[in-house]
Amino acid sequence: MNEVDFSRSRQVREITINVTYSDTTSALAFQLPKGARIIDWIINVKTALSGGTTTLDIGTRTDSDYFVDGVACAAVGKASPTLLYPGHEVTALVEEVYMNVGASNTAGSIDVTCLFSLEEDTPR
């Protein structure tokens, strides 16, 4: 088996955004730089969505559910999204990430964490 050179491995980074029941319009959550590779989405439902469409979408400006489509957020705990494009690599200058929940909810709070890596080494 070959040795792995961890000094040259891509470091994992994260961004966490809180989405609430009132975030029904797809809005810019954050931007990823060119060379970023999305590893995973961690969706932690802090307060369950209730009273309406209890789902979360994560996408781009032109496709509101490009990364995650309709993950159920009606129960507290970790939600299990189906990643539509695992390992997505940003090839443009930046990738804008948008999020929104279903309409007509009266409660809900969700922490969404994007795990990603960058192709460049981290300065020490």
**Spatial distance between the Cα atoms of 88 and 117, rounded to a whole number of angstroms:** 11
pTM: 0.88
Q: Tens digits of per-residue pLDDT, 75-111?
A: 999 999 988 888 899 999 999 999 999 999 999 999 9
pLDDT one digit per residue (tens) for the chain, 124 residues? 666 665 567 889 999 999 999 999 999 999 999 999 999 999 999 999 999 999 999 999 999 999 999 999 999 999 999 888 888 999 999 999 999 999 999 999 999 999 999 876 544 4
Question: Which domains are delineated in the chain?
Answer: 14-118 (2.60.120)
